[in-house]
Amino acid sequence: MNSCNKSLKKKFFEILINSKVKGCQNIYYDKKAPKGHGIGQKIDFLGLSIFSNLNKNSLNITLVVNSADKNIAENERIFSYLEKNAHLLQKDIINKIVWERKPNTIRRVARITNKDFSYEKQSDWEDMINYIIQTSSSLKASTESVLQKY
């Protein structure tokens, strides 16, 4: 990533982490701006986090299943349970959640991709920030709700 893109992304994330959207929790609020292409936040279930990253012509919000004890079997059980209840996670999210199993790895992900935005187009930033906050907040709340019965 060149330094221009890096500084533009950093500026975007600085605005994101201090933004508020009515009726939504900004799970990234008051975090330190990342140096890379994305920002993450652990959620209230061991080994799960939500990560938002920017690409040139899209943004991704990813639910990461990566248990602290590095137990592939446990990750698979959690992931399968969430995937089985995907309709409960999907109900408040506009874009489709894509479930990705990666054999023989600890990490499992459920990714939401939106190709309507480009971080290089600063006129999109307000809509992007609203989308990220709303989607991340919904994904966190629905994931934690589903996992209460795990």
pLDDT digits (tens, 9 = 90+) for 94-142: 999 999 887 666 677 899 999 999 888 999 999 999 999 999 999 999 9
What is the average pLDDT score of the chain? 89
- What does the H/E/C string look like for the chain? CCHHHHHHHHHHHHHHHCCCCCCCCCCCCCCCCCCCCEEEEECCCCCEEEEEEEECCEEEEEEEECCCCCCHHHHHHHHHHHHHCHHHHHCCCCCCEEEECCCCCCCEEEEEEECCCCCCCHHHHHHHHHHHHHHHHHHHHHHHHHHCCC
Specify the pLDDT at position 67.
62
The reported pLDDT for the residue numbered 76 is 83
Whole-number pLDDT of residue 101: 80
Mean pLDDT of 53-65: 92
CB atoms within 10 A of CB 103: 5
Percent of the chain surpassing pLDDT 70: 92
- pTM, entire model: 0.90
Q: Does residue 71 or residue 20 have the better pLDDT?
A: 20
The CATH code of domain 3-147 reads 3.30.1460
Q: Is it the case that residue 4 has pLDDT exceeding 70? A: no
pLDDT at 26: 97
**String of b and e for 135-148 (b: at least 16 CB within 10 Å)?**
bbbbbbbbbeebbe
User: Which amino acid is residue 79, in one-letter code?
Assistant: F
pLDDT tens figures, 64-85: 988 655 677 888 888 899 999 9
